């Protein structure tokens, strides 16, 4: 609903003209120009960042539940216990990205600063809101990618049981880019592969 709301605000603003008309008295014509005050977009983008940060927070909690040693799954989903640390560090990564997203949720639209020698006396900070939202979205892809790695690893420990046909198909396709983790390996490559997988699927 939050995403739909933001899309609707963008559609209205893209198709609206509200400010800085060009006046042509000789032709008795006034042509409205653009939307130079970005407050509607700034507010919506701040809302989007908040909603997506919450989505990431929920995802990270699911990741934690899967590596926590509960639900009859091994701690950190380690395939070979001993010196292997399994998926401990990816969960750290997800938690740190969730915390960063919380910091990005400070609303840019609540701020303003005078510029242009006082001519621009109230600004929306919409560009800052957009940049923060973009950073939240990129972090969210990583958080969800880590959950996908974790969930597919956990499902492997449930074999020969199967989940739904749709999820089995998803896992099968995902395993072509991120194989089961038997031994510890550098996982940033797997996280990046999971991010790319999510962006195209």
Instruction: Give the model confidence (pLDDT) of 146-184 as tens digits.
Output: 999 999 999 999 999 999 999 999 999 999 999 999 999
- Report yes or no on 22 lying in a domain: no
Across 24-41, b (16+ Cβ under 10 Å) vs e yields eeeeeeeeeeebebbbbb
- Report yes or no on 146 lying in a domain: yes
| Structural domains counted in the chain | 1
For residue 201, pLDDT beyond 70: yes
Global pTM value:
0.89
Task: Supply the CATH number for residue 192's domain.
Answer: 1.20.200.10
- Report yes or no on 141 lying in a domain: yes
For residue 55, pLDDT beyond 90: yes
- Report yes or no on 32 lying in a domain: no
Instruction: Give the model confidence (pLDDT) of 33-51 as tens digits.
Output: 766 778 999 999 999 999 9
108/92 Cα distance (integer angstroms): 28
Provide the domain limits for residue 182: 39-200
């Amino acid at each position: 609903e939050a995403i739909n709301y933001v899309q609707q605000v963008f559609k209205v603003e893209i198709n609206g003209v509200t400010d800085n008309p060009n006046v042509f008295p000789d032709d008795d014509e006034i042509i409205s120009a653009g939307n130079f005050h970005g407050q509607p977009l700034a507010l919506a983008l701040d809302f989007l960042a908040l909603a997506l940060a919450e989505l990431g927070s929920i995802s990270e909690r699911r990741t934690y539940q899967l590596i926590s040693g509960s639900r009859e799954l091994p701690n950190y989903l380690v395939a070979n216990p001993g010196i292997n640390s399994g998926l401990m560090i990816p969960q750290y990564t997800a938690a740190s990205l969730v915390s960063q997203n919380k910091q990005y949720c400070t609303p840019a639209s609540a701020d303003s600063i005078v510029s242009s020698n006082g001519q621009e006396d109230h600004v929306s900070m919409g560009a800052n809101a957009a940049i923060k939202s973009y950073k939240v979205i990129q972090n969210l892809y990583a958080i969800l990618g880590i959950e996908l790695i974790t969930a597919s690893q956990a499902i492997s420990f449930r074999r020969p049981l199967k989940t739904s046909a749709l999820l089995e198909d998803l896992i099968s396709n995902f395993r072509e880019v991120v194989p089961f983790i038997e031994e510890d390996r550098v996982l940033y490559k797997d996280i990046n592969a999971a991010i790319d997988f999510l962006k195209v699927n």
